[in-house]
Structure 1
Amino acid sequence: MSAAQSLPSEFDRGIVTTVHQGDCAVSGDAGLTYSTVLGSCISACIYDPVARVGGMNHFLLGMQSGTAKDRYGASARYGAFAMEQLINLVLSRGSGRKSNLSIKVFGGGKISAALDDVGAKNVEFVREFLAAEGYAIASSDLGGNFARRVLFKPVSGKAFVKRLDSSAEAGVAREEIAIVRRGPVVAPVDNDIELF
């Protein structure tokens, strides 16, 4: 049986847009599906059923360390910024009412001993962040010892999660380890003012 045949019919047609680590995307396009692959990372899928608008993010670390925060500023790679960014985008394109938002969260697996407890810290972070902001989690698939692929329909708020096999999991682990070891990346500042 092909992967497409094992998907619910809503997910087996239309345009699939990949949400990579550090990305955030929002849409109300009925033909669009967001897709991401998670190991220890977290992805939130937020939906406004009144406006039929939804979005997905993907972040690796819950919070920046104090020194990284001071040196590099906010980045979608970190959960606090990624969550605020996604919530604000869905609110601005949706009904504007926080009470309308439905939030689903996925990921936080322990897929490599080299990543220590990054996944568990991410799960703790996203639960605490949403509780502090007054949001309830509508559904979740968090933790475990596996990677997962998440598909999300922003116009309906429906999500589909598939646990990945060990070969796919090894690739996800390698990518996440490389990102964690590399550390924050400084983006060049694009100034339009020249000082003399």
Structure 2
Amino acid sequence: MGQNSSLPPEFDRGVVTTVHQGDCHVSAAPDVTFSTVLGSCISACVRDRVANVGGMNHFLLAEQSGSAKDRYGASARYGAFAMEQLINKVLSQGTGKKSNLEIKVFGGGKINSALDDVGAKNIEFVRQFLADEGYVAVGTDLGGTYARRVLFKPHSGRAFIKRLDSDVGATVAREEMALASRRVVVPAPVDDIELF
């Protein structure tokens, strides 16, 4: 009995890669599992169902900048960059066809009153991004008042969500608070470059 004996068998073996905030990992290996813990952050899992290659990102929108450029200013460009980076990596390692992609999105929990609307903004952002790009998520687990662990098999596309108890959630909330309060805004990619 391993410590992960509550996991479905396919998630309880092989190589587990942790996806931290700001990361984007892609693999086609059958024995790879991507793992992340989300509070108000979002992780998207994108897979090319024909090439059996998939990936996971993990992002938190920064503070709203008040820019007139778009509703969330630089932070939405950061979220869009996180989504585009993942989609483009999967496309380049897969068939290159957007119609072969399946997308699942997770997170956006409200686990701390100080991060009151961050999860909701993240959810609104990712839904709008997918709609604007013409994608439909085939699976979601968004919102709620708990942190969650997400495990994703990029080869098969299977995802497993475990809701975490409140003391784990409190730790996740503290980490996210520290990141959000730094107001780190990642430089946006230059707007006039077309990403394929």
Fold in common (TM above 0.5): yes
SS of 2:34's equivalent in the other structure is strand
- The separation in 2 between residues aligned to 1:117 and 1:161, in whole angstroms, is 22
- The separation in 2 between residues aligned to 1:12 and 1:76, in whole angstroms, is 35
**What is the Cα deviation at residue 181 of structure 1?**
0.6
Identity %: 72
Q: Which residue of 2 aligns with 1:56?
A: 56
- The separation in 2 between residues aligned to 1:129 and 1:31, in whole angstroms, is 30
1:162-173 alignment runs, 5 A limit? 162-173=162-173
**What is the Cα deviation at residue 31 of structure 1?**
1.1
Q: Which residue of 2 aligns with 1:190?
A: none
- The separation in 1 between residues aligned to 2:85 and 2:65, in whole angstroms, is 19
- The separation in 2 between residues aligned to 1:80 and 1:54, in whole angstroms, is 18
**What is the Cα deviation at residue 65 of structure 1?**
2.5
Cα deviation per residue 1:103-130 (whole Å; 9 max; x = unaligned)? 0000000000000200001101100100
Q: 1:48 to 1:128 in 2, by over 3 A?
A: same
**What is the Cα deviation at residue 78 of structure 1?**
2.8
**What is the Cα deviation at residue 62 of structure 1?**
7.1
Q: Which residue of 1 aligns with 2:190?
A: none
**What is the Cα deviation at residue 3 of structure 1?**
4.7
> TM-score normalised to the size of structure 1?
0.87
Q: Which residue of 2 aligns with 1:176?
A: 176
Gaps of 5+ in 1: 188-196
**Does 2:15 align with 1:15?**
yes
**Contact 2:25/2:57 (CA < 8 Å) preserved in 1?**
yes
- The separation in 2 between residues aligned to 1:172 and 1:21, in whole angstroms, is 11
Q: Which residue of 2 aligns with 1:32?
A: 32
- The separation in 1 between residues aligned to 2:141 and 2:64, in whole angstroms, is 24
Greater gyration radius: 1
SS of 1:6's equivalent in the other structure is coil
Stretches (4+) displaced over 2 A: 62-67, 74-78
Q: Which residue of 2 aligns with 1:89?
A: 89
**Does 2:132 align with 1:124?**
no
**Does 2:110 align with 1:147?**
no
SS of 1:141's equivalent in the other structure is strand
Gaps of 5+ in 2: 188-196
Q: Which residue of 1 aligns with 2:193?
A: none
Q: Which moved more, 1:75-84 or 1:168-177?
A: 75-84
**Does 2:174 align with 1:160?**
no
Q: Which residue of 2 aligns with 1:5?
A: 5
> TM-score normalised to the size of structure 2?
0.87
